[in-house]
Structure 1
Amino acid sequence: MQGKLGFMGSKQRTYTPEFREGAVRIVIETGRPIPEVAEELGVHSGTLHSWVSRWRRNGSASSDRPAEPAPPGGRMREAERAELERLRREMSEKNKRIRELEMELHGPLGEVTVTDPAALAAFIGNQRTEHCVPHRLACRVLGVSESWFYKWRDKPTTAREIRRGQLADVIRQIFEGSGGTYGSPKVWLLLVRAGWRVSVNTVARLMAEHGLAGRKIRRRRGLTRPGKRPAAPDFVRRDFTADAPDQVWCGDMTEITTGEGKLYLATVIDLFSRRLLGYAMGARHDTELVLASLNMAAATRGGDVKGVIFHSDRGSEYGSRRFRRACRRLGVTQSMGRVGSCSDNAVSEASNSVLKVEYVHRHTFATRTEARLRFATWITGFYNTHRLHSVCGYQSPIDYEHDHRANSALELAA
């Protein structure tokens, strides 16, 4: 059966060491089933399984080279694998408990963020029903009179109020589904797509009334250490657009704080769809880290990435002899911005800021292993598959790429 990427045929394929390493990295980093990853990459599941087994035995997915130290974010010790399984079970149990506690988070007379009179009156009434708190006491604590409470409690609910309450519920569902990151414009867009007729101002007002605020992106401190080797030319020149996938990729590094210390993250993003194609995490930001992210990106695209332009800053990791050699083997052309100019690599800078603000800053990580697992889950379960992006016409990166392939196929058939 032909793979999703369309490159399997009757002729037996050969796989480069970089492709094998990248394929193994996808399995290990994301925890996805081997058959699922194999089908996506167009590799026989038995072949991928043997690569993963070989990696876990000797730190290499290739049989034609000796064992070498596992790169950052690569082969995990037995204790780390056990820790990953424990964290998966713990996260599942916590998510179940969180759903059970949603109605208990604000106990009797807890913090009330609603400003709608009918909702406040209903809240006061619920205190006696659920917690045996007299109406008089609840009214006094919340600063309203009993007559005000009875007026709003007994007031017939209008159709407008019913619709407003339903709208508020849907807004909260969308907001929580985004991990608490969407502001009113994106929430409004999803409401319109779902068939709601509502203005963005009404959405913003309801979100404010219910204490729902999206996350704002702030500038971050960079990790760039200028290299001593000659830099590659700047082929991008701040034109961060692409007409199709795999024309231009960009890469950068950032750091994540954990209870064990810093965890460094290297990413590779496709400028066409803003899809995060490859990433690697480790305790040091070095050449191994950026190499691992590049190999994962190449494997995600099926291994044939000849002609791609890879744009980055002039960090020593990207200018190293090993990274330049890897790019040449893959047929990738390097491009570098100027020293000290974050605008020359603005997409990578902005994407890493999104990762930090929308996910990293909202969580704490006791260990590097926990951070690796949770970040990988967020990337595959939300960022690439569900998060709306303005460049993609407010579609997810993967949906945007699927639509592009479908439209291209129709044009060829016409």
Structure 2
Amino acid sequence: MRPNLLNREFCVEEPDRVWVSDITQVRCQEGWLYIATVMDLYSRRIVGHACSARADTVLVKRAIDQALGWRSIKPGGSLFHSDQGVQYRSEEVLKTLSGAGLTISMSRRGNCWDNACAESFFSLMKREWLHHLGLISRREMEDAVAYYIGEYYDNVRSHETLGGLAPRAYELAA
């Protein structure tokens, strides 16, 4: 287990200094679709995400790899925070994070408030976008998730913590 270094300090002054990650699930025609995201706390932008029929290490690693391929972190000065799920404690994920120079932080056991921003994102996505779709195929749900993140959430969805701006606009204004 890793210590909770984030300690609910959700206001971040620079991009790519603190990333938070989590996994959620949504019901589809074929069963569950699991969604892993990586969020930059600075702008609340989703910098990596992946979907799968399995909530495994591969799912989390794909989301992390996408974030690492798209963004520039500061080795030794950037934090990666998640819950204590088995996927985040896997050797493969820990090795990827350490190899990228990220300091690893984990929520206290059973305390969802320690990762409130990631939890809040999933609540918004489900309430605003996914639940009205009904029971659709995994492929259709993956497309809906990608559209919500890449088009609506990043470009349109305003955030009180960002002065009413959407994540992309907040980053561009900085």
After TM superposition, the score normalised by the length of structure 2 is: 0.95
The match for 2:3 is 233
Q: Which runs of 5+ in 1 are unaligned?
A: 1-230, 405-414
CA distance in 1, matches of 2:43, 2:108: 24
Output the amino acid matched with 1:338.
R
Matches within 5 A, 1:251-330: 251-302=21-72, 304-306=73-75, 307-330=77-100
Output the amino acid matched with 1:351.
F
CA distance in 2, matches of 1:372, 1:351: 16
CA distance in 2, matches of 1:340, 1:403: 37
Aligned residues: 173
Offset of residue 377 of structure 1: 1.6
Output the amino acid matched with 2:128.
E
Offset of residue 359 of structure 1: 0.9
Offset of residue 246 of structure 1: 0.7
Structure 2 residue 173 is the aligned partner of structure 1 residue 400: no
SS state at 1:316 partner: coil
The match for 1:389 is 159
More helix by share: 1
Contact 1:298/1:305 (<8 A) preserved: no
SS state at 1:317 partner: coil
SS state at 1:359 partner: helix
CA deviations on 1:331-355 (whole Å, 9 max, x unpaired) are 1111011101111111111111111
Runs of 4+ in 1 over 4 A off after TM superposition: none
Offset of residue 366 of structure 1: 2.4
Please give the root-mean-square deviation of Cα atoms over the aligned residues, in Å. Answer: 1.2
Offset of residue 394 of structure 1: 0.5
CA distance in 2, matches of 1:388, 1:379: 13
Offset of residue 364 of structure 1: 2.3
Structure 2 residue 99 is the aligned partner of structure 1 residue 333: no
CA distance in 2, matches of 1:300, 1:391: 24
CA distance in 2, matches of 1:366, 1:311: 32
CA distance in 1, matches of 2:128, 2:136: 19
Q: Which runs of 5+ in 2 are unaligned?
A: none
Contact 2:130/2:144 (<8 A) preserved: no
Offset of residue 370 of structure 1: 0.9
CA distance in 2, matches of 1:391, 1:380: 20
Q: Which has the larger radius of gyration?
A: 1
Offset of residue 365 of structure 1: 4.3
Contact 2:16/2:78 (<8 A) preserved: yes
Matches within 5 A, 1:67-78: none
CA distance in 1, matches of 2:29, 2:130: 13
CA distance in 1, matches of 2:38, 2:15: 13
Offset of residue 328 of structure 1: 1.3
Contact 1:250/1:348 (<8 A) preserved: yes
CA distance in 1, matches of 2:168, 2:68: 16
The match for 1:39 is none
More strand by share: 2
Output the amino acid matched with 1:379.
I
Offset of residue 305 of structure 1: 4.6
Output the amino acid matched with 2:105.
S
The match for 1:375 is 145
After TM superposition, the score normalised by the length of structure 1 is: 0.41
CA distance in 2, matches of 1:369, 1:318: 25
CA distance in 2, matches of 1:233, 1:340: 14
Output the amino acid matched with 1:237.
N
CA deviations on 1:233-283 (whole Å, 9 max, x unpaired) are 111111111001111110000001111110000011111111011100000
Contact 2:17/2:74 (<8 A) preserved: no
Output the amino acid matched with 1:282.
S
CA distance in 2, matches of 1:273, 1:367: 31
Percentage of matched positions with identical amino acids: 38
